[in-house]
Amino acid sequence: MEKEEGKPTFLLRGIGVSPGIVRGKAYLYDRVDEPVTLYKLTNPDLVAKEVKRLKKALRESERQLRELKNNLGFMAGAEPLYIIDVYMMILRDKAFVKGTVQNIEEALVNAEWAVKMTIDRYRAVFEKVTDHYLRGRIADIEYVGQRVIRSLAGINKPVIKDLGKGVIIIARDLSPADTAQMMMDKVLGFATDMGGKTSHTAIVTKAIGIPAVLGLETLTAVAKTNDEIIIDGTSGIVIINPDQEMLKRYEDKKRLYLDAELVTLKYARLPAITRDNHKIKISSNIEFLEEIPTAISCGAEGIGLYRTEFIYINRESPPTEEDHFQSYSRVIGQNGLAWTNIRTFDLGADKVFAEAKSPREANPQMGLRAIRFSLKEKELFITQLRAILRASAMGRTRVLFPMISSVEELREAKEILGQVKQGLVAEGVPIGDKVEVGIMIEVPSAVVMARDLAKEADFFSIGTNDLIQYLLAVDRVNEKVTYLYEPLHPAILRLLKQVVEAGHEAGIPVSICGEMAGEPLYTVILLGMELDELSMNPLAIPRIKKIIRRTSLGESKALLNEVLNYSSVAEIRKRVESFMGERFPEEFSE
Ligand code: PEP
Ligand code: MG
Cβ–Cβ < 8 Å for 225, 19: no
Q: Residue 394 has what pLDDT?
A: 97
Cβ–Cβ < 8 Å for 506, 485: no
Average pLDDT of 421-447?
Answer: 97
Q: Residue 446: what are its φ and ψ, rounded to 5°?
A: -70, -30
Residue 77: count of CB within 10 angstroms of its CB: 7
pLDDT digits 0-9 by tens, 538-576 = 888 998 999 999 999 999 999 999 999 999 999 999 999
pLDDT digits 0-9 by tens, 492-522 = 999 999 999 999 999 999 999 998 999 899 9
Alpha carbon of 571 to ligand 2 centroid (Å): 28
* DSSP letters for 13-34: E-EEEE--EEEEEEEEE--PPP
Q: Which is it for the CA torsion 531, 535, 537, 538, positive or negative? A: positive
Q: Is 287 in the pocket of ligand 1 (CB under 6 A)?
A: no
For the ranges 54-58, 152-156, 503-507, which has the lowest average pLDDT? 152-156
Burial class (CB in 10 A: 0-12, 13-18, 19+), 220: buried
Alpha carbon of 519 to ligand 1 centroid (Å): 15
Range 351-366 burial, b when 16+ CB lie within 10 A, else e: bbbbeeebeeeeebbe
Tell me the C-alpha distance between 587 and 547, whole Å. Answer: 9
Q: Residue 357 has what pLDDT?
A: 52
Which one of 284, 306, 346, 441 would you pick to mutate in the ligand 1 pocket, going by the greatest count of ligand atoms within 8 A of its CB? 346
Tell me the C-alpha distance between 264 and 299, whole Å. Answer: 8
Catalytic, 298? Answer no
Q: Is 146 in the pocket of ligand 1 (CB under 6 A)?
A: no
The candidate with the shortest Cα–Cα distance to 3, out of 230, 312, 235, 191, is: 230
Q: Residue 162 has what pLDDT?
A: 56
Catalogue the E-assigned strands of 262-420: 281-286, 302-307, 340-343, 397-401
Higher pLDDT, 234 or 437: 437
Tell me the C-alpha distance between 420 and 389, whole Å. Answer: 8
Model confidence, pTM = 0.72
Residue with CA nearest ligand 1 atom 8 = 465
What's the pLDDT band for 198 if we cut at 50, 70, 90? low
Catalytic residue among 298, 324, 489, 513: 513
Catalytic residue among 200, 298, 324, 489: 200
Higher pLDDT, 44 or 373: 373
pLDDT digits 0-9 by tens, 331-357 = 999 989 999 999 999 987 555 454 445
At residue 197, does pLDDT exceed 80? Answer: no
Q: Which atom of ligand 1 is nearest to the CA of 370?
A: 10
CA angle 138, 139, 141 (to 5 degrees): 65
Tell me the C-alpha distance between 394 and 292, whole Å. Answer: 16
Average pLDDT of 291-314?
Answer: 90
The gap between the terminal CA atoms of the chain, to the nearest Å, is 26
The candidate with the shortest Cα–Cα distance to 421, out of 392, 448, 450, 442, is: 392
Q: What is the 3-state secondary structure (H, E, C) of 479-540?
A: HHHHHHCCCCCHHHHHHHHHHHHHHHHCCCCEEECCHHHHCHHHHHHHHHCCCCEEEECHHH
Q: Residue 423 has what pLDDT?
A: 98
**Distant-in-sequence, close-in-space partners of 10: CB < 8 Å, separation ≥ 6:** 222, 223, 239, 240, 241, 314
CA angle 300, 304, 307 (to 5 degrees): 120
Amino acid identity of residue 166, one-letter, is: G
Q: Is 514 in the pocket of ligand 1 (CB under 6 A)?
A: yes
Q: Is 173 in the pocket of ligand 1 (CB under 6 A)?
A: no
What's the pLDDT band for 2 if we cut at 50, 70, 90? very low
Q: Is 442 in the pocket of ligand 1 (CB under 6 A)?
A: yes
Q: Which atom of ligand 1 is nearest to the CA of 285?
A: 5
